[in-house]
Amino acid sequence: MGKKHNNYFRKYTVPSTFRCDICTDRKSTAKSFSIKGCNHTYCSNCIFQYVNFKIQDNLIRLTCPASGCYRSLKHEHCRSILPPKLFVDWDKKLREDAIPVRDRLYCPYKLCSALMVKGPNFKDIIEKVCSGCHKLFCTKCMVPWHAGMNCEEFQKVHVDEREQEDIMLMQLAKINKWSRCPNCKFYVERNLGCSHMCCRCGYVFCYNCGGYLERGHDLICTKAPR
């Protein structure tokens, strides 16, 4: 009986090692990873590398690495062997892929870029709060909210001057009635004196209309002094 008992355990004992079909190395069974739905098993590190390369190539619907096997490799099943960042990136790409391109909306703030769904009433919405960073942005211009300036006015602003700080400066200049040098775009404030301004860049212009100063300009300037 003792001899038969020992033969039984030798027959059914799980091997302590296995050979990975990807790297061909013999590994401990504790480092094995089995694909759900098929009988293919690989080492955890090879599956991690496989997933990492695929995600970098923007391939997110993954299958078993075995040739001819099309069993799906689910991201939730791989959670335990993937670094948190890789798992989150994969999950984010899957969620994004599930939303039709025409319905996707991304936060315009550079440090956020959260993905949102436009929704049925999107055309009627101009001000929207991001679900990620909770900041306000304009859905028509797709920029951080341009306070004190409507969309038409904002679209006329040069692309290099559309940052939030630039918009705030423009609003301040408007309130204080500052003029702007037509040559270098530097803001100039006149405390007193005539309308003849000489900017730091050397350009001479009229503070009232912004026109280049030449003989007889005061006679043709149609803007009243400020």
Per the prediction, the chain carries an average pLDDT of 81
Average pLDDT of the segment spanning 32-52: 93
The pLDDT value recorded for residue 225 is 46
Per-residue tokens: 99: 């939303």
The pLDDT value recorded for residue 86 is 95
**Residue tagged active-site, from 23, 184, 194, 201:** 194
Q: With 80 as the cut, is the pLDDT of residue 152 above it?
A: yes
Render 102-148 in DSSP notation, one character per residue: GGEEE--STTT--EEE--TTGGG--EEE-TTT--EEETTTTEE--TT
Determine whether 194 is an active site residue.
Answer: yes
* 9 touches 38 (CB < 8 A): no
178: confidence class by pLDDT, cuts 50, 70, 90: confident
28, with CB counted inside 10 A (0-12, 13-18, 19+), is exposed
Q: Which domains are present in the chain?
A: 15-97 (3.30.40.10), 99-175 (no CATH), 177-226 (no CATH)
The pLDDT value recorded for residue 134 is 94
**Residue that the structure tokens 């799906």 belong to:** 72
On whether the pTM is more than 0.75, the answer is no
